[in-house]
Amino acid sequence: MALTRRDLLAGTAGVVALGTTAGPAAAQRRGGDLVFGQEASVPTLDMHFSTSIASRNTALNMYEMLVTRNEQNAVVPDLAETWEVSADQRTYTFSLRRGVKFHNGKEMTSADVLASWQRYQRVGLQRRILDAVERLEAPDANTFVVRLKEQQATFLDNISAFTTPITIHPAEERDKEGGKLEPIGTGPFRLEEFVADSHVLIRRFDGYVPNPNHRGTDGFAGHKQALVDSVRLRLVREPGARVAGLETGELHIVEDVPTQAAKRLKDHAEIQLLPLRHWWLHAAWVNHARGPTDRLLVRRAIQTALDMEAIMEIATDGSYDLQPGLQYPGNPYYTDAGKQYYNVNDPARAKALLKEAGYNGEELVIITNSSYASMYNAAVVVTEQLRGIGMKVRMDVFDWATAIARRRDRTTWNLWFTGQGTGPSVGPFTALIDVVSPQLNQFVPDPELDRIYAELVSDPDEAARKRHFARFQERVYEQVHFLKFGDLTKIQAARRIVQGFRPYRIPRFWNVSLGA
């Protein structure tokens, strides 16, 4: 291993602490044009209609939600001032912050919140999170009421998740189709220019009134102040060009620095590395409807054979953590339940399980893609490890769009390589919906799993919900619904001139300044 995660963290920890302390925003310098180098193009700025991380990078600096997440991922108000929950847990009454303005100058009222939620119910890609809603009401200009058909303990978690966020826009946008939204929000930056495969330029919104209930940067909430005049998010796909741009100073902050480049930049006087551990969970879906993975013993054999260290080492070039959780450490629901099934790396036992399963050389089909190098590399290692226990394995490589299309066909694959980034970070409810009915990425329902999930989302007691989640995770491992390999570390880097930039799942450009 050329550069271990430990080396990297040891070399950068002090720097990160020094260079990214938020500090009182007032003491920071105003002005300047910040340039951020990002790896993927922004397909749309309609966050109701996008699951793209690149879209979030930009849009969550322009738009806000009723409730959002703080630095510890807890639910906090943003455009809402406060909320109240009725005794029967079916009515949520949100009082809105007053004096909040949209980028078009119009003051935000409950009519806008109502219209935005109604639009999300119609076109939102994750509109199923609002399935429990019976009625939405705006009784006065500053009050928004949500009535649920039945109690849903995870309601606030769902509506504050930022995978496909329920961003608030002017009411006139209600009837716009997905992808056709005018990019107007209430955030500290407003859109100036958007060239889809080139750059997005956002400029300080002078009418923005920071939330007085917060101090400093705190997740997507906080006391947000646009200190720089503008932020240009430049698409620089090629990692080498991104790093070169950072070295020359053309780019102030870049995302996704390759591990080898990080090693070189570690001692650079003008650059600080900002590793984001547990950024991405590398995994494969397991098809229970197609042989040979329709048999539990074969699935167990695969699970038992895998050496996660070798897989993650090759997949990530050394930037990873091994841990069994389907949540990231530090998340409220984090648990290592099922760890006895993780990273077993026992080929002899795996062979015995195959024999017990009556495996007779049926072909196992792995689908991976050429669009994400780490997924492809992981698949190559898994293929070899499974051949090592005597399985006949075929690896099909497609581009991402084709791989997605193939995933829905239960007859064409056994293991489908993927990753989850934001899902596990916002809590267990969004991420794990993939293996419960009706989503069922494994195609065959698991009634026990569905039962645990139903308890998980409805139990009003948080401690009990955590227990349900631990049981859920263990069941996923027991039945091998999902093969988790490890957590990838994403390395961001910034010029030292950048002050107040705190690494987070999505870059936040408020309270960030450019020093002299």
The answer for residues whose C-beta is within 8 angstroms of residue 10's C-beta and 6 or more apart is none
Can you tell me which of 6, 180, 387, 394 binds another protein, judged by CB under 8 A?
180
Residues between 261 and 320 that touch another protein (CB under 8 A): none
Measure the CA–CA gap between 136 and 128, rounded to whole angstroms: 15
**225 vs 418, which CB is nearer to another protein?**
418
Query: Binding to another protein by residue 125, rule CB under 8 A?
Result: yes
Measure the CA–CA gap between 392 and 42, rounded to whole angstroms: 40
* Maximum CA extent, the chain: 70
Candidates 13-21, 137-145, 430-438, 454-462; binding stretch for another protein (CB under 8 A) = 430-438
Can you tell me which of 12, 20, 28, 44 binds another protein, judged by CB under 8 A?
44
Candidates 92-100, 190-198, 288-296, 321-329; binding stretch for another protein (CB under 8 A) = 190-198
Q: How far is the CB of 179 from another protein (least distance, A)?
A: 6
Query: Binding to another protein by residue 50, rule CB under 8 A?
Result: yes
**145 sits in which H/E element:** strand 143-148
Can you tell me which of 9, 15, 30, 43 binds another protein, judged by CB under 8 A?
43
Q: Kindly state the tokens that stand for 67.
A: 């409730």
Can you tell me which of 16, 30, 41, 296 binds another protein, judged by CB under 8 A?
41
Query: Binding to another protein by residue 492, rule CB under 8 A?
Result: no
Find residue 488's DSSP bridge partners. 280, 320
**268 vs 339, which CB is nearer to another protein?**
268
Query: Binding to another protein by residue 441, rule CB under 8 A?
Result: yes
Q: Kindly state the tokens that stand for 312.
A: 């993650």
Q: How far is the CB of 251 from another protein (least distance, A)?
A: 8
**178 vs 207, which CB is nearer to another protein?**
178
Question: Pairing mode, if any, of strands 33-38 and 230-235?
Answer: parallel
Query: Binding to another protein by residue 454, rule CB under 8 A?
Result: no
Q: Kindly state the tokens that stand for 511.
A: 């309270």
**156 vs 244, which CB is nearer to another protein?**
244
**417 vs 501, which CB is nearer to another protein?**
417
Residues between 493 and 512 that touch another protein (CB under 8 A): none
Q: How far is the CB of 152 from another protein (least distance, A)?
A: 20
Query: Binding to another protein by residue 195, rule CB under 8 A?
Result: yes
Can you tell me which of 179, 212, 291, 358 binds another protein, judged by CB under 8 A?
179
Q: Kindly state the tokens that stand for 33.
A: 């044009």
Size of the site for another protein (CB under 8 A): 49
**Total Cβ atoms within 10 A of residue 267:** 8
Peptide bond into 292 cis (omega under 30): yes
In angstroms, the Cα distances linking 136 to 17, 90, 169 are 44, 12, 16
Candidates 49-57, 292-300, 314-322, 463-471; binding stretch for another protein (CB under 8 A) = 49-57
Residues between 221 and 240 that touch another protein (CB under 8 A): 234-238, 240
Query: Binding to another protein by residue 193, rule CB under 8 A?
Result: no
Residues between 10 and 29 that touch another protein (CB under 8 A): none
Candidates 63-71, 72-80, 139-147, 399-407; binding stretch for another protein (CB under 8 A) = 399-407
Query: Binding to another protein by residue 123, rule CB under 8 A?
Result: yes
Question: Three-state DSSP class for 313?
Answer: helix
Q: Kindly state the tokens that stand for 331.
A: 């998340």
Measure the CA–CA gap between 271 and 217, rounded to whole angstroms: 22
Q: How far is the CB of 240 from another protein (least distance, A)?
A: 5
**45 vs 305, which CB is nearer to another protein?**
45
Find residue 234's DSSP bridge partners. 37, 199
Query: Binding to another protein by residue 515, rule CB under 8 A?
Result: no
The answer for residues whose C-beta is within 8 angstroms of residue 511's C-beta and 6 or more apart is 22, 25, 28, 216, 217, 222, 223, 224, 225, 227, 500
Contact by Cβ (8 Å): 479, 296: yes
Query: Binding to another protein by residue 371, rule CB under 8 A?
Result: yes
Provide the strand spans (E) within 362-514.
363-369, 392-398, 415-420, 482-495, 498-499, 513-514
Candidates 21-29, 218-226, 415-423, 484-492; binding stretch for another protein (CB under 8 A) = 415-423
Q: How far is the CB of 469 from another protein (least distance, A)?
A: 19
**451 sits in which H/E element:** helix 447-458
The answer for residues whose C-beta is within 8 angstroms of residue 236's C-beta and 6 or more apart is 37, 38, 39, 242, 245, 251, 254
Query: Binding to another protein by residue 49, rule CB under 8 A?
Result: yes
In angstroms, the Cα distances linking 374 to 7, 40, 155, 255 are 21, 15, 34, 16
Query: Binding to another protein by residue 399, rule CB under 8 A?
Result: yes
Question: Three-state DSSP class for 140?
Answer: strand
Query: Binding to another protein by residue 401, rule CB under 8 A?
Result: yes
**28 vs 272, which CB is nearer to another protein?**
272
Tallying the residues shown for the chain, one arrives at: 516
- The DSSP secondary-structure symbol of 65 reads B
Return residues touching another protein (CB under 8 A).
Answer: 41, 43-44, 49-51, 123, 125, 177-180, 195-199, 234-238, 240-241, 244-245, 247-248, 250, 371, 398-408, 416, 418, 423, 433-434, 438-439, 441
